[in-house]
Chain A
Amino acid sequence: KQEVTQIPAALSVPEGENLVLNCSFTDSAIYNLQWFRQDPGKGLTSLLLIQSSQREQTSGRLNASLDKSSGRSTLYIAASQPGDSATYLCAVADSSYKLIFGSGTRLLVRP
């Protein structure tokens, strides 16, 4: 059974710092991997989607990498801002296209 783990569970950094969020999964037979952002009490916003054949995707200050063989993905946030404060969720799509989510990393960027 696929399991998705995110480390750390919470992270607090000063504004301007570059940071890395980690996601690991137990079964490398994934269809794609997605990173989402969730603000308190709100729905999820898609940040990046990496197909299983890809190694990375970039959007603005965000860069996500995927290493299927080792079951790992990282989300790199450059020059963090207080507006980046949110919970970041990683999810993998299995062969039946269902998403399996990690429990998230709660990020606080201090001004």
Chain B
Amino acid sequence: DGGITQSPKYLFRKEGQNVTLSCEQNLNHDAMYWYRQDPGQGLRLIYYSQIVNDFQKGDIAEGYSVSREKKESFPLTVTSAQKNPTAFYLCASSIVPGQETQYFGPGTRLLVL
């Protein structure tokens, strides 16, 4: 089955801790994206990558970091600098940036202990 997987489904972060959210795709897509969704709101772009070993900041990149060492994988680290990390995080991919629809994973809900 082709698709996007995100893990874990739920993640708990302690004060001052860095946590990493996993995103993997087997669709052979070049572009990958990370979004944050807060209750009752639309999605906001955190980071995106159009090709391996390259990525750009989105609208709310502060307190987050990413890597793109493999085409299939685009992990997101929520650092201790992100003071309000509680949200629903969604990963997406597309064949080429912008020209086709984006396919979304099932999401990771991050909660702060």
Contacts and interface: CB of A to CB of B under 8 A. Distances in A.
A26 to B, nearest CB: 14
A104 B42 contact: yes
A103 B42 contact: yes
Interface string A70-111: 000000000000000000010101001111011110000000
B90 A43 contact: yes
A21 interface: no
A41 B37 CA distance: 11
Contacts of A46: 101-103
A43 B98 CA distance: 19
What class of interface size applies to chain B in its complex with A? 20 to 34
A99 to B, nearest CB: 7
Given A42-B107, A43-B90, A43-B107, A99 B41 contact: no
Interface string A20-57: 00000000000110101000011111100100000000
B106 A89 contact: no
Interface of A is mostly: strand
B8 interface: no
Interface of B: 4, 6, 33, 40-45, 48, 58, 88, 90, 92, 97-107, 109
Interface of A: 4, 9, 31-32, 34, 36, 41-46, 49, 89, 91, 93, 96-99, 101-104
The 4 closest A-B pairs by CB, nearest first: A97-B98, A101-B42, A43-B104, A97-B97
Given A41-B88, A42-B106, 5 more contacts: A42-B107, A44-B102, A89-B42, A97-B97, A98-B98
12 contacts: A41-B88, A41-B107, A43-B90, A43-B107, A44-B90, A44-B92, A46-B101, A93-B98, A99-B43, A101-B42, A103-B40, A103-B41
